[in-house]
Amino acid sequence: MRTLDWIVLFTSLISIIAYGLYRSRGSNTVDRYLLAGKSMPWYAMALSIMATQASAVTFISTTGQSYVDGMRFVQFYFGLPLAMIAICATAVPIFHHAKVYTAYEYLENRFDAKTRALASLIFLAQRGLSAGITIYAPAIVLSAIMGWPERTTTMLMGITVVTYTVAGGIKAVTWSDVQQMCIIFVGLLVALITVFVLLPPNVSMRDAVFLAGAAGRLNAVTTHFDWNDQFTIWSGLLGGTFLFLSYFGCDQSQVQRYLTGKSIAESRLSLLFNAVAKIPMQFFILFIGAMVFVFYLFVQPPLLFQRAELARIESSAAFQPVAGDYQRAFENRRASALALTAAHRAGNRAEEARQQSLYRAAQHEMDMARSRAASLVQSYGGPKDFRDTNYIFLTFVTRYLPVGIVGLVIAVIFAATMSASSGEINSLATVTIVDLYRRHVRRNRSDHHYLAASRWATLFWGAYAVAFAGWGNRLGPLIVAVNKVGSLFYGSLLGCFVLAFGFRRVGGTAAFMGMLAGEAAIFAAFAFTGISWLWYNVIGCVVVLAVALAITYLLPGRASATGSTLQSQ
């Protein structure tokens, strides 16, 4: 980072925070602080919802995932449009008409207080953990660039985010997100253009795409079925639909955003915008990762992208043979990549097939060398199950992007993370105050009292998130870690809301028991099977429905239903 980068970084951050706070003035009641007085237009909610997902995790981890595994992660989002349609048709009008602050408040109207409390506690547990991972992501950035310890940077980011969230409320969060998404779009475009510019002069854009495909990095759709494979078209369409139904329909961090809409139509439009725009955006980000892979076909990538861990093993006797093999494999890969491109251009099929075989063999040797280096890291006291996926894109940005652009990209990563994290902390505080504190601890106090309590709750959840952030590096690629944590809890929440919206005869006790059973089933699947986490939502939801319906029909005396469902709307 040079002086210009630092200027760009700090100017961007200060302007984003200042703009958010400026737009949030007047947030002096609980309604305005938590729901922006239901005044937000659809485009602000849409970009805010998108920004929450497109946090630093999106840049850091998704691009790295594409570099090592190709683009098949995009299938994870195939269920998103279907989930958005279902939520627009059900949850959006029901929540708005119920005039609630939180999704779980509705559960008491429909079922009873204990079901609301259980759903609130499940949300607090999972979102609190995810908020920690969100804060951990920019700590990696600071650690990679400045060499600061991740724990120190986690604390620094956490304190900044908490301060900003306490002061701003949801209006600040939303309007900051709008500005950040504009910067993110610009940053993405600049990053992709820069990758193409940095390719050798004899490698065209078309060649780059061909080489990425030949290395299996453009595998956007995989049609085989495997319960243990996280990213196939089937897990995306079915598992992804359930995950996004849970995320956008039952997770307060998202529900709170579309509850700020000034009409039901505005809320629906904000979700449908994401249904249409999210998949192409994710494809674009993954494509950047694939092009970074092509860039490194011609410029030798480091053996390990995490410099601190590379330094740990460089002095060892076993390092030199691994590094030598890696360099030879790289040179072979570069030569075969150029020969493959030439054969492809010439239309020489036989030579193309031969070079493709050499190209893939060299790639395999490089992967093996990296794997041996990772094992060395572990044997020399490094982290178990060491992965450097999260460092790939950052290494590229800091080493090869031009002055000023580096600062812009880092600013995007910082700002997006701060926004995503502040939204999470804001929703955690909302549920704590509205669903637990106001309902069970201090009832019928003044608006000013609950506003102050909301700020204190925000402070508490910020501290909790920072404490959990220390665990982030043990959970694998960040983007997966965020969803893994969510999937442990989302399925049972989704099942409860499906019961609430669609099954009038089901009462509070049946729903409560169903949620407990659903959560037990998810943890059993996690602990005792190798089933991919994407299916946990399906399992949890199905178990909740099965148990609640069984109790309802086998013990009909316990099944008293109240409140509004789809049928009664």
Partner 1 sequence: MAGPRDVPDDPPPFLGTWRRVYFAVVIYLATIITVFYLFTRAYR
Please answer whether residues 75 and 222 qualify as being in contact, where contact means their C-beta atoms are separated by less than 8 angstroms: yes
Structure tokens at 474: 């043990």
Please answer whether residues 453 and 482 qualify as being in contact, where contact means their C-beta atoms are separated by less than 8 angstroms: no
What is the dihedral sign for C-alpha 116, 119, 122, 128? negative
In a 13 Å sphere around the CA of 398, the CA atoms on its Cβ side amount to: 22
Q: Which DSSP string corresponds to 217-265?
A: ----------TT-SSSHHIIIIIHHHHHHHHHHH-HHHHHHHTTBSSHH
Q: Which stretch binds partner 1 (CB under 8 A): 131-139, 164-172, 272-280, 543-551?
A: 272-280
- Phi, psi at residue 261, to the nearest 5°? -65, 145
Size of residue set near partner 1 by CB under 8 A: 50
Beta carbon of residue 72, minimum distance to partner 1 (angstroms, whole number): 9
Q: Can residue 233 be called a binding residue for partner 1 (CB under 8 A)? A: yes
Q: Can residue 101 be called a binding residue for partner 1 (CB under 8 A)? A: yes
Q: Closer CB to partner 1, residue 73 or residue 461?
A: 73
Q: Closer CB to partner 1, residue 32 or residue 312?
A: 32
Q: Can residue 212 be called a binding residue for partner 1 (CB under 8 A)? A: yes
Q: Which stretch binds partner 1 (CB under 8 A): 132-140, 274-282, 323-331, 535-543?
A: 274-282
Q: Closer CB to partner 1, residue 2 or residue 99?
A: 99
Beta carbon of residue 390, minimum distance to partner 1 (angstroms, whole number): 25
**Among positions 4, 82, 145, 531, the unique one binding partner 1 when judged by CB under 8 A:** 82
Q: Which contacts (CB < 8 Å, 24+ apart) does range 21-25 have?
A: 21/164, 21/167, 21/168, 21/172, 23/171, 23/172, 23/175, 24/168, 24/169, 24/171, 24/172, 24/175
Q: Can residue 455 be called a binding residue for partner 1 (CB under 8 A)? A: no
Q: How many beta carbons lie within 10 A of that of residue 250, not counting itself?
A: 28
**Among positions 140, 243, 279, 475, the unique one binding partner 1 when judged by CB under 8 A:** 279
**Among positions 197, 201, 384, 446, the unique one binding partner 1 when judged by CB under 8 A:** 446
Cα(351)–Cα(340) distance, integer angstroms: 8
**Among positions 33, 136, 210, 295, the unique one binding partner 1 when judged by CB under 8 A:** 210
Contacts of 435 (CB under 8 A, 6+ apart): 102, 104, 105, 116, 117, 120
Q: Which DSSP string corresponds to 81-119?
A: HHHHHHHHHTHHHHHHHHT-SSHHHHHHHHS-HHHHHHH
Instruction: Give the H or E element holding residue 519.
Output: helix 508-528
Please answer whether residues 429 and 454 qualify as being in contact, where contact means their C-beta atoms are separated by less than 8 angstroms: yes
Going residue by residue from 466 to 485, which x/- string records binding to partner 1, judged by CB under 8 A? --------------------
**Among positions 159, 265, 346, 524, the unique one binding partner 1 when judged by CB under 8 A:** 265
Please answer whether residues 496 and 486 qualify as being in contact, where contact means their C-beta atoms are separated by less than 8 angstroms: no
Q: Can residue 291 be called a binding residue for partner 1 (CB under 8 A)? A: no
Going residue by residue from 535 to 564, which x/- string records binding to partner 1, judged by CB under 8 A? ------------------------------
**Among positions 7, 14, 18, 89, the unique one binding partner 1 when judged by CB under 8 A:** 89
Q: Can residue 272 be called a binding residue for partner 1 (CB under 8 A)? A: yes
Q: Which stretch binds partner 1 (CB under 8 A): 132-140, 152-160, 185-193, 275-283?
A: 275-283
Beta carbon of residue 294, minimum distance to partner 1 (angstroms, whole number): 12
- Phi, psi at residue 40, to the nearest 5°? -85, 140
Please answer whether residues 382 and 53 qualify as being in contact, where contact means their C-beta atoms are separated by less than 8 angstroms: no
Q: Which stretch binds partner 1 (CB under 8 A): 256-264, 357-365, 483-491, 534-542?
A: 256-264
Beta carbon of residue 290, minimum distance to partner 1 (angstroms, whole number): 10
Buried b (16+ CB within 10 A) or exposed e, 153-185: bbbbbbebbbebbbbbbbbbbbbbbbbbbebbe
Q: Closer CB to partner 1, residue 97 or residue 440?
A: 97
Q: Closer CB to partner 1, residue 36 or residue 539?
A: 36
Q: Which stretch binds partner 1 (CB under 8 A): 145-153, 212-220, 499-507, 516-524?
A: 212-220
Closest CA to 415 of 427, 404, 426, 407: 407
Beta carbon of residue 279, minimum distance to partner 1 (angstroms, whole number): 6
**Among positions 96, 372, 505, 558, the unique one binding partner 1 when judged by CB under 8 A:** 96
Beta carbon of residue 20, minimum distance to partner 1 (angstroms, whole number): 22
Cα(280)–Cα(74) distance, integer angstroms: 9
Q: Can residue 188 be called a binding residue for partner 1 (CB under 8 A)? A: no
Residues in 13-32 at the binding interface with partner 1, rule: CB under 8 A: 30-31
Strand-pair partners of 40: 261
**Among positions 1, 85, 121, 546, the unique one binding partner 1 when judged by CB under 8 A:** 85
Contacts with partner 1 by CB under 8 A lie at 30-31, 35, 38, 74, 78, 81-82, 84-85, 88-89, 93, 96-97, 99-101, 209-210, 212-214, 216, 218-223, 233, 259, 261-265, 268-269, 272, 275-276, 279-280, 283, 438, 445-447, 450
